Structure 1
Amino acid sequence: MRYVGLVFAAALGLAACGQGAPAAGGGATVFPNLFQTAYRAEATVTSENGHVQPLVMIRDGNKQRLEFESPQGNMAVIINGDTGDQFVITSSGGQTVAVRGGAPGGLSDPGEAWAGDMATTATRTGACSGAGLSGSEWTNTTSGDTACITDDGIILSATHEGRPTWQTTSVQRGPQSPDLFVLPPGVQLMDLSAIMGPAIQAAQGGGEAQTALCEALRGQNVPANVLSRAGC
């Protein structure tokens, strides 16, 4: 589930504050609003250990979808800010399952790093470009981290502690299908809290957490390949 956590954290972070306003020099003078534009982008996320994860990010207002490949199969993360729904969808071996809620692990991504207070302490330090687009480079006055962002809120690149963490390689602007931000029909939905809760309680009570986890998974009618990967 590590890859799920890495990219899910990225998705959670891609909502920031502030409205961009054009400046006389052609750049924004206020940190851009990162969820005002509809687009599809291809990018790479680089973790602290140097692992590079290619992904596709699709965004339309408060709704986001990230698609990527992992050892667990093809995955998609959906965050619908309008409804509050959050899902991780896995497709493997001809079966597709979805988990409601978050996932363990995390990778510092541009949206997460530049949301909230980070954005309020950023200053525009020049022009930049990426994926064939022009943007403004923003530098956090406390950490020195940088991000290249278009005036309409598309992150083109970002760095943390001097190393690259995000690089957009292509962007297609335009409205996105609403179907991308909901569960596909017929996909089995598992409740992560219902699965992990019994295992956590068993561990806290001195019981067998693995047995409780397997029983909870079977109670959710998860596919056999998921049970196998969980050691059940």
Structure 2
Amino acid sequence: MVLPLGPRHCRPPLPALLLAALALMMAGAALLPGTALALPPVGETPYSGRFTMDIAGQPVTGTLYHSPDAERREMTVEGTGQVFILRPAAGEALMILPAAKMAMRIPLPPDPGLAAAEAFARLDPQAEGEETVAGEATTIYRTSGEIEGRFWITDDGVVMRMETDTDRGRYTMELLDLERGAQDPALFELPPGVQVMEGMAPPRQ
């Protein structure tokens, strides 16, 4: 698995902070180099649930479906229903407008630094306590570097809460009504009858 994009890689129409959050949810298992700290297997557990986010003061709510290879989020942004599908194995992200039957395909750039273990390790995660979030026991990890913040993660790698501060403002996310279990593969495919526009490749750092 890969951590496809950081906050500076996103392009419209999806806000950069939202894409960064989705990417972090896809992070894989990692061992921090030079330390015995074992991180939880983030991204490996399939599940579904509701999410609430605040992006620089703008609230967003929706439903998510997560598998080890892809993730789907359904939400309403500025009054428009949107579906975002992240498919790192296919090297692409899909931004779908169901009402208009249109979608944008955003290619994900090849980059050895985007491997999940390497990317998450670069954040230098440090455990700093435990807390129950939405009924789930979690460990709190503080990160630094490209993404500075805190992440509440279960032992089986589900990110229940995030808090980060960026140059675009403060971002928070919380997962609710978590249900673990395999997800229908069709959720992560482009629906029939949708016209696809090819998006520009995200810029390299």
> Same fold, TM exceeding 0.5?
yes
- Are the equivalent residues in 2 in contact too, given 1:89–1:97 (CA < 8 A)? yes
Counterpart of 2:47, as a letter, is: Y
Q: Which amino acid is the alignment partner of residue 44 of structure 1?
A: T
CA distance in 1, matches of 2:122, 2:127: 15
1:173 Cα deviation (Å)?
A: 0.7
Q: For residue 136 of structure 2, what is the amino acid of its counterpart?
A: L
Q: Number of residue pairs matched?
A: 172
Q: Which has the higher contact order (CA 8 A, sep 6+)?
A: 2
What's the C-alpha RMSD, in Å, of the aligned pairs?
Answer: 3.0
Task: Report Cα offsets for 1:183-206 as digits up to 9, x if no partner.
Answer: 011211111249xxxxxxxxxxxx
* 1:101 corresponds to which of 99, 106, 111: 106
Name stretches of at least 5 consecutive residues in structure 1 with no aligned partner.
21-28, 103-110, 195-232
Give the fraction of aligned pairs with identical amino acids, expressed as a percent: 23
Corresponding residue of 2:174: 167
- CA contact under 8 A between 1:146 and 1:158: conserved in structure 2? yes
Give 2:155's aligned amino acid: D
Cα distance, 1:187–1:30 mapped onto 2, change above 3 Å: same
Counterpart CA distance in 2 for 1:138 and 1:86 is 27
Match of 2:141 in 1: 138
Instruction: Looking at secondary structure, tell me which structure has more helix per residue.
Output: 1
TM-score when scaled to structure 1?
0.64
Asked if structure 2 preserves the Cα contact closer than 8 Å seen for 1:157 and 1:165, the reply is yes
Tell me which structure has the larger Cα radius of gyration.
1
CA contact (8 A) 1:14 1:115 kept: no
* Residues 11 and 65 in structure 1, CA contact (< 8 A), matched pair in contact too: no
The residue matched to 1:101 in structure 2 has which SS?
Answer: strand
In the TM superposition, residue 176 of structure 1 has moved relative to its aligned partner by 0.3
Asked if 2 retains the 8 angstrom alpha-carbon contact of 1:80 and 1:86, the reply is yes
Q: Which runs of 5+ in 2 are unaligned?
A: 1-10, 32-36, 108-115
- 8 A Cα contact 2:25 2:159, kept in partner: no
Distance 1:115-1:144 versus aligned 2 partners, 3 A rule:
closer
1 CA distance for matches of 2:139 and 2:58?
Answer: 27
Number of the residue aligned with 1:58: 65
Instruction: Check conservation: 1:17, 1:116, Cα contact below 8 A.
Output: no
Aligned counterparts of 2:79 and 2:198: Cα–Cα separation in 1? 18
1:34: which partner in 2?
42
**Equivalences for residues 1-232 of structure 1 within 5 A:** 4-6=14-16, 7-19=18-30, 29-48=37-56, 50-71=57-78, 73-92=80-99, 95-101=100-106, 115-118=120-123, 121-140=124-143, 145-161=149-165, 165-193=172-200
Deviation at 1:14, TM superposition (A): 2.5
Could you tell me whether the CA contact under 8 Å between 2:101 and 2:193 is conserved in 1?
Answer: no
Give the superposition deviation at 1:144.
6.8
